[in-house]
Amino acid sequence: MKIQKNNPNMIYYTAKEPTELLKFMLEQLAPKSRNAIKSMLTRGQFFIDGKAVTQHNHPLKKGDQVGMLSNKSFKKIETLEGLRILHEDDDIIVIDKDAGILSVAGKDHGEATAYRQLMHYVKADNRNNRIFVVHRLDRDTSGVMVYAKSESIKDKLQENWQTLVKERIYTALVEGSVRRDKGRIESWLTESKTMKVYSSRYDNGGKHAVTHYTKKQGNVNYSLLEVQLETGRKNQIRVHMEEIGHPVAGDKKYGAKTNPLKRLGLHATTIAFEHPRTGKVVKFSSPAPKGFLKVSR
């Protein structure tokens, strides 16, 4: 499990001298029993640099911070399936979503969508709490997503999305060997009645879309691209990759012939935006799945 530093559900303890994790937490949580603290360690309730540490003799340096999730907070987070909370404050929740998880409420009321799970998560503290969808990822796209904790914050983010968002980066596994190391794709996108998006190199009244890409690695069959969005349109990356003759792996809808990952080869790696309350730029990232790297090596 990994959690963003400064998570409000965490209690933090700072080591004042070199020591080991179990010994340190026994001192901090006295008179709590040794067995209880060992159980917390084994379950992964102690975090260093946002990452759960279970090794009892993990060395701590002077100044190291250990974050602790209470039993209640840990049980809340344990119930989440297919997503992890990267950051949470009074205004927003940022998650890392797995492929296969729907980001919004679906027609099947029994499906554990990201939206439904997060709604239950916030209501565990107060039944009046709610969450609101700020933007979406396709079901088969994994990675970083932002939700708001109030309608006013959602509106503020959505109404100013193009100016508030400073960086949106995806990792794309695409078919074939992309010859250019860098590229820019510009077109106008329109959606058909069958919900498929089409691209035109000329302004046909559609939505203007600009995508930048950099090739990171590749072989004769696949290329791994870092894709940066200048605009954020529906299916933009998928359509633009098809347009340059290198559809996203696993994307049959937009021309892919192979599916080496048994999922869509698209991952939302990074998002940076001005926080709607503080105005400071915050940045959240999730590394590309290992399969993306392996297939394109």
Residues recognised as catalytic? 138
Of 52, 107, 53, 108, give the one whose Cα is nearest residue 84: 52
Of 139, 51, 47, give the one whose Cα is nearest residue 98: 139
Q: Report the phi/psi class of residue 44: left, alpha or beta, with left for phi > 0 and alpha for psi in -120 to 50.
A: left
Of 228, 229, 223, give the one whose Cα is nearest residue 248: 223
Six token digits for residue 74: 């840990």
Question: Helix 34-43 vs helix 21-28: angle between axes, to the nearest 10 degrees?
Answer: 130
Of 228, 219, 235, 184, give the one whose Cα is nearest residue 293: 219
The amino acid present at 181, given as its one-letter code, is D
Give the Cα-Cα-Cα angle 216, 218, 223 (nearest 5 degrees).
Answer: 80
How many CB atoms sit inside 10 A of residue 48's CB?
16
Q: Which residue has the tokens 């400071």?
A: 280
Give the Cα-Cα-Cα angle 231, 232, 236 (nearest 5 degrees).
Answer: 100
DSSP H or E run through 39: helix 34-43
Q: Are the C-beta atoms of residues 267 and 160 closer than 8 Å to each other?
A: no
How far is Cα 229 from Cα 47, in angstroms, rounded to an integer?
Answer: 33
